[in-house]
């Protein structure tokens, strides 16, 4: 997967977790929590979806890498670069 495909995967996951949120104007540099109504359980749902879809483990100590779209894509790119897009 490339960066654009990973971004779309994250958008798809966010759409499932928060279907009422408008993601069309999502700023990739601003934290998700500043732009959306996400609580800690929603955040864990993102991590669990990534585990379920792509079998990647994200240690709790690395959750800070998933605060913005840009940081999430950057973090996931080496982990998913050899993975075909699924979601």
Q: pLDDT value at position 83?
A: 73
For every residue of 43-74, DSSP letters joined together read HHHHHHHHHHHH-----GGGGGGGSBHHHHHH
What pLDDT sits at residue 82?
75
Of the candidates 59, 55, 54, 23, the one whose C-alpha atom is nearest the C-alpha of residue 38 is 23
**The pLDDT value given to residue 69:** 97
3-class secondary structure, 68 = strand
> Which residues of the chain fall short of a pLDDT of 50?
none
Structure pTM? 0.88
Where do the DSSP E strands lie in the chain?
none
3-80 CATH fold: 1.10.1200
């Amino acid at each position: 997967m490339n960066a654009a495909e990973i971004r779309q995967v994250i958008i798809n996951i966010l759409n499932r977790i928060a279907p009422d949120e408008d993601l069309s104007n999502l700023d990739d540099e601003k934290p998700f929590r500043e732009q959306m109504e996400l609580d800690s359980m929603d955040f864990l749902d993102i991590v669990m979806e990534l585990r379920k879809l792509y079998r990647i483990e994200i240690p709790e100590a690395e959750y800070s890498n998933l605060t913005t779209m840009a940081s999430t894509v950057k973090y996931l790119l080496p982990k998913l670069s050899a993975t075909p897009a699924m979601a």
